[in-house]
Amino acid sequence: MANEAEITEKFWKALKSDRTVMLGLHGAMQDRSQPMTAQTLDGQSYVWFFTTKDNHLVQDMRTDDRAMMVFASKGHDVFATIDGRLEEDNDRERIDQLWNPFVAAWFEGGKDDPNLQLIRFDPTAGQVWLNEHSAFAGLKLLLGRDPKQDYKDKVAEVAF
């Protein structure tokens, strides 16, 4: 039986490993999201993304910074929708901490590229689901067990 803390820990571990999320803004004018590469730092509940200053997220978040991050781990064992706020964060120390060859490939000017924009997602609340593999659910069904019962303790409302 998983509790909220265990589910949250599994989410952070999966996000750190898999890193691809869909990130978008709430609101009538921002009903679109895009795939982004999430980066985290140990001991912090923020999520950072490198993007460009002309990206629609950066432009639109100046009007309304309410955002949602949607995540599915590669193994489909962790799913999450997380609400939060986006903020521009071009702190050079943070850029240095998060910079890597994959990010560098997107910016010809390196860390000093004039179009580089680091944004920070400050999560506030969300829902995280742990998924038992469907093969197990099918086996349990064949054995006469209700597989839905196994899922009731594998979801958590999370406050960050």
Domain chopping of the chain, boundaries: 4-159
Q: Tokens for 138, please give them.
A: 């099918």
Amino acid 146 reads D
Closest residue by Cα to residue 73 from 6, 18, 153: 18
Alpha carbon distances (Å) from 60 to 22, 28, 52, 79: 16, 11, 13, 26
pLDDT of residue 32: 78
Per DSSP, the three-state class of 113 is coil
pTM as predicted: 0.83
* CA angle centred on 13, ends 8 and 15, rounded to 5°: 95
Gap between the Cα atoms of 60 and 78, Å rounded? 29
> Which residues have C-beta within 8 Å of that of residue 149, sequence separation ≥ 6?
none
Is the CB of residue 128 less than 8 Å from the CB of residue 79? yes
pLDDT over threshold 80, residue 56 = yes
Correct CATH for 4-159 of 3.30.300.30, 2.30.110.10, 3.40.50.2300, 3.65.10.10: 2.30.110.10
Percent of the chain past pLDDT 90, that is, above it, reads 68
pLDDT of residue 97: 96
Q: What is the pLDDT of residues 124-154, one digit of tens each?
A: 999 999 986 555 555 555 666 665 565 556 7
How much is the average pLDDT of 65-83? 95
